[in-house]
Every structure is written in C-alpha cells, then in structure tokens.
Structure 1
Amino acid sequence: MSERPERTNTLFVQSLAKGLGLLEAFADRPGPLTLNELASICDMDRSAVQRMAHTLVALGYLERGANGKAFLPGKKILERTFDYLRSVPLLERATPLIVDLQKESGERVELSLFDDLTIIFALRRQTKRQTYTTTLIGRRLATIHTASGRAVMSHMSDEQVDDILARSTSQPLTRKAVTDHDQIRALVRQCRTDGYAVAAEESMLGEINLASAILDHEGRPIAAIDISGSLADWSIDDFARRFAPLLMSGTKALSGKPGLS
C-alpha cells in the first residue's frame, strides 16, 4: 500500500509523526501499555519507542503506570484539549444553547464536529442514565453510521456523498446499523426533505438519535447537534415529532455566522 500523499511531502516530519503515534496507540487500547506493546502497536523499533516515551514523559504527555514499567496518557494532554476548545468560536456560542436544549428536552444533547469520514464529539450534556463513555468529549464515530454524519451529508452534493461512502471502511457499532450504501443515500435524501436525520440503535442498542447540521456562513456543513433518547420511553415517530422542531431551531440559530469554522 502506498503512503498517503501528505506523508511523502518533504515538509512532513516522520519523527514527529512517530512520536504522536505513541499517544494515538491508546485510542484502541485504554489502560497502561508497556514498551513492547507500544512498539508492536506503532510498528516501531523498541529502542526508538523507549527514547520517544522517555521524552514524552519528561514533557508530561505520557506518565508511568503504577508499576513504573508501563505508560499512560499524561495530564498535559488535557491542557491541549482546553486550548482547542477555547479556540473554536462555534463551541463557545453553542454551549449555552446545548445547555438549554438539554434542560428543555431532558435528553442527552451533543454537538459533534465534522471531520471528513468521522464526526468527533466536542460538547456533550448527558442525563443520569448515560454510561461513562457516552459523556466524554473526543470520541469519534463514522460519518456514514450516525444521524449527525448523515445530517451533515444532506448538505453535500450527491458526488460528495458518494465520495465519503467510497472511502469509508469503518465497522458498524451495532447489528442494527445501516451499512448498505443505497440505503444510506436514501436516508441522506430523506434528511434533505425533513431537515433532520434519524438513527435508531445504530450507535447504541435501545437508543434513538435525531440530528441537524450547523452550516457556516458559506452554507457548508461543519457540525451537527443531536438529541438522543431511549426507545423504552419513546417511539421513533413520537421522539421526532417532539424534538425535531426544537433541534432544528437550535442549529438554525447557530448557522450562517461568520468565523465559525
């Protein structure tokens, strides 16, 4: 397999990418990782991993585990998360709206940022029944398998939608996830008509998600807000009837403002 174009660019610093790769190793393996595990995950020489890990520990981006032999992400990473969150005007403007939506709906409300083949959660307001991982920012989900992603795709051309579908290789999170590309295209078209997307039990069994996209001042989709509820409490139609107008009012209030992206 050939390398991606940006990695063959003369400006691309391979050693820096490898160092960041050590931090990314924890994405699929939460918990302490030994040097041997890091070397295996990152496909790097153990001595190189040892030097990079030592440097990252010295800088605070890695910390040693309780036994002193393994490594964990360091607290310094949280500082960079803070730096990012305060640098995005959309998140500052959206926060009070997300809070109000959660209070009014009584359901989980989230804002996710569009990042090509994935969406990434940047603001999350949960209810008491949520699991720990559903309250954390920074989680990525596949654009094609989420209501938020399809809401974003509904503001794209058919050619752009086809491009995302062609390049997506992610695995569905549940057995209920829609994977057929023609069905996904149909759901995107339905969202264009309705103004919101629906996903039932595609991210979590027993859960329904409604989402509507946020557009920048040029009409490009950059993010989405979704409201999530339990199918034990709501039918799909009742949930959409109750919360879709509230959701679309919120995304409309945020859309079209300069300096959002």
Structure 2
Amino acid sequence: MSPRKQSADAGDSTSQEATGQVIATVERAMDVLMHFADTPTTTLGVTEIADALGMSKGVVHRVLASLRGKQLIQLDPVSRRYSLGVGAMRLGLSYLDRLEIRRIVAPELALLSQRTDETATLSLRTGWTRVYSDQVTPEREVIMSVSLGVPYPLHSGGSSKAFLAFLSKQEIEEYLVQARRDPPTGHTIDDVGRLRKELEEIRLRGWTQSFAERMSGAASVATPVLDHLGRPAAVISVCGPLERFREEVDDCVSALLDSARRLSAQMGWVEREGREH
C-alpha cells in the first residue's frame, strides 16, 4: 500500500472516530436534558444525574457545563444544584407557538370518526363559551352534524362541560357565580350545586357524556386535549343520534380517550403519578 493511501485511510479512520465522539457527546447532552424534563423535582445534583443515567460524575459535569453555556441549564450558586434554564424555556415556547391545533387534531378526528362510525368534533374555548371549529362525519345514512363557529355556554353539553371541568377551581367558581346559565333544553343542568358536583365527577373520570343536554335527540361523549400545563387546549368529542348512541357509548369512550392521549402528548402534556390535571 502506498504511503499516500495509508495516510488517507488513517485520516478517514480519525474522522470517523471524531464523528462518533461528537454524536456520543450530543446524545449524552440530550439524555441529561430529557432527564430534567422527565423528573418531577425542579432541581438535580450531579450525583443524582450520574446515578440515574449511568454516567460518571466527570462526564455529567462536562455536559452540564456545555449546557450552561447555551443557557439550557442553570446552576444555583448556593445549593450547587442544577435546573432547566431560560434557553430550555425558549425552546419550549418556540415549539408551542408553532402549534396549529386544528392541523394537529385533523388526522385524529378522521381516525376517531372511522373507529366509531360517528361524527368526531373539535371545540375551542372563547371566554365563557366554546365553538365547534372542525368535524368529520361518517359515511352512513343517519348522522349528527354540528354548526361550526356558533358559541355555546360552558355548562351545556358534553364538549362544554369537558372544558369547564378542567379549568382551575377559581375559574370554575367565577363561571358558576357570574355566567348566565339559561338551559338550552330541559335536560341541561343549571342548578349550581348539581353542576358543581357533576364537574367534580367529570374531572375524576376524565370525560363527560351528554344526552339531549344541548340539542334534543343528540348524544355525545367528550374529553379535553391537555396542554403542557394540564389545561384544556381543546376538546374532542364523538356524537350521534340519541337512541343509537346509547348502545355505542363504551366503544366511543375508549376510542375518544386513545385519541386524546395522543393529542395531549403532542401538546406537551406528560401525565405523572400523583399529578392532578
């Protein structure tokens, strides 16, 4: 082999080794960052990180120093513990700013309608009301169809109550005290005591149902899509004619919750044990 060829081979080997080291360093940095995101505590020490990720403390120190340089991690000079920095916040906010809820939800609505053979809807909140912003209807003779853009109060119907039940306690009480609660149908609950109790049950169960509450002859099940703070960014529902829907509730709820879990994950929600929505 010529000296020139040997030199080229050696150079290639060195380049590949350097590339591998860079990739390994980046992967370790990403592992450390994601460990902060996945850990319930807000601060971590070097030993904790090293033990959890199977790294040496020296490696963790070097990774943290690099991340601090980009403000992704910050160090408390008193406790000598680390936490996520403003750079991590900027990344997260940048991602959230680019979320287009209707575009994100559209494929799941289509899948939900296909799985249930009923109408799947998306609702967005507008103050003390909410509106349907999208729907996918099934290919069958008798279907339910909703009116897009029409405001409905937050205590009437499944999608409305799925929003209201997952607001903060302060917001719920403010709504119950201040908002008008004119009942659209005879099945709508407008008594404050009964409504407050039902909202607590909905929050514990994770979904709500409606039988002729908003519109006579219609039924639905609904659940919120949670954002990274656990707040309802949107609500999805499955609805159909009342008599037919009674026999489909269990299957519809199962499909609905599957879709909501996937969508909430895309919105940044991470459910942790002992953490309330």
TM-score (norm 2): 0.56
CA distance in 2, matches of 1:202, 1:136: 16
* Alignment-derived partner of residue 159 in structure 1: 170
| 1:169-184 superposed matches below 5 A | 169-184=180-195
Amino acid at match of 1:247: L
Amino acid at match of 2:201: Q
CA distance in 2, matches of 1:249, 1:259: 16
CA distance in 1, matches of 2:215, 2:99: 29
Q: Are residues 1:144 and 2:155 paired? A: yes
Whether the 8 Å contact between 1:107 and 1:228 is mirrored in structure 2 is: yes
Amino acid at match of 1:255: S
Q: Are residues 1:245 and 2:254 paired? A: yes
| 1:93-242 superposed matches below 5 A | 93-127=104-138, 128-130=141-143, 134-235=145-246, 238-242=247-251
CA distance in 2, matches of 1:178, 1:114: 20
Gaps of 5+ in 2: 1-97, 270-277
CA distance in 2, matches of 1:147, 1:161: 16
Aligned residues: 170
* Alignment-derived partner of residue 89 in structure 1: 100
In structure 2, do the counterparts of structure 1 residues 193 and 170 end up closer, same or farther at CA, with 3 Å as the change threshold?
closer
- Please list the CA deviations of residues 67-112 of structure 1 after superposition, one character each: whole Å capped at 9, or x if unmatched: xxxxxxxxxxxxxxxxxxxx96111011011011111111111000
Structure 1 segments of 4+ aligned residues over 4 angstroms from their partners: none
Amino acid at match of 1:145: S
What secondary structure, in the 3-state scheme, does the structure 2 residue paired with 1:144 have?
Answer: coil
CA-based RMSD: 2.2
In structure 2, do the counterparts of structure 1 residues 99 and 258 end up closer, same or farther at CA, with 3 Å as the change threshold?
closer
CA distance in 2, matches of 1:147, 1:186: 15
What secondary structure, in the 3-state scheme, does the structure 2 residue paired with 1:110 have?
Answer: strand
Q: Which stretch shifts more, 105-114 or 173-182? A: 173-182
Gaps of 5+ in 1: 1-86
Q: Are residues 1:257 and 2:266 paired? A: yes
Percent of aligned pairs with the same residue?
21
How many Å apart are 1:170 and its aligned residue? 4.6
